[in-house]
Amino acid sequence: MKIFLVEDDKFLNDMLGTTFSSIGYEIVSFDDGKEAFNNLDVQYDLYIIDINLPNVNGLELLKQIKTLNKNANVFIMSADTNIETILDAYNIGCDDYIRKPFDIREVLAKIQNRLDSLPKVIQFTNGCEYIIDERKCIYQGQEIKLTKKEDLLFTILLQNNGRFVSNNEIENYVWGETYQNGHVRQLVAKLRKTLPCELIENHNSNGYRIKKDLLK
């Protein structure tokens, strides 16, 4: 799981980052709202955001994240217990509101609960199934496993629910800062070869997506 953390308290930021990393989550963290805002072109599996941040507050970040991807999973984490602030966060689209101070075990439990609530199997109208936890497809009783990069590509396409995902978004999600031009086209071709049926369509200027008529 890739987590995008925005917290201006250095101690808390470091503690959360260390905890998440120790259990296998990939973590990217920021302590400035504007810097975080400028890095929202990369998609993550979960966003954990404080409200009172320098330069750009957490609710503005939440709005932008949901504008870019309405299906994004976002937790707001704040010492602000004003009911109007909490309602604003939920109305904008946050999935959970974590009140400070908190026990780290509560945060981990909320993350696990969110993971448990997400679909475990995605079914397609042509008979394919994708088992998320096992990173494999089932087609006509045959098991097809995906490599890590194939799975990352498939994941970002599925997360966007039929929307075209640009080359830049895919590059940043799969490779981060280490990508080179041409990698996306090669990986898409590789994934298409791996999958038992044609699920991906492309548009020259808009990128790639899962075919809308195949998603149940």
Any idea where the domains of the chain sit in the sequence?
A: 2-117, 121-214
Q: Strand 129-131 relative to strand 121-123: parallel, antiparallel, unpaired? A: antiparallel
Identical fold at 2-117 and 121-214? no
Q: How confident is the model at residue 99 (pLDDT cuts 50, 70, 90)?
A: very high
Instruction: Indicate if the pLDDT at residue 156 is higher than 70.
Output: yes
Burial class of residue 173 (count of CB atoms within 10 Å of its CB; 0-12, 13-18, 19+): buried
Distance CA 200, CA 48 (A): 31
DSSP percent split of the chain into helix, strand, coil, nearest 5: 45, 25, 35
What percent of the chain clears pLDDT 90, i.e. is strictly above it? Answer: 46
The correct answer on CATH 3.40.50.2300 for the domain covering 2-117 is yes
The pLDDT value recorded for residue 215 is: 65
Residue-wise pLDDT for 34-91, tens only, equals 999 999 987 888 999 999 999 999 999 999 999 888 888 999 999 999 999 999 999 9
Alpha-carbon span 193 to 187, nearest angstrom: 10
Q: How far is it, in rounded angstroms, from Cα 77 to Cα 95?
A: 11
- What are 2's strand-pairing partners? 26
Residue 138 and residue 129 in contact, taking contact as beta carbons nearer than 8 Å: yes
Instruction: State the CATH architecture for 121-214.
Output: Orthogonal Bundle (1.10)
pLDDT digits (tens, 9 = 90+) for 1-41: 789 999 999 999 999 999 999 988 889 999 999 999 999 98
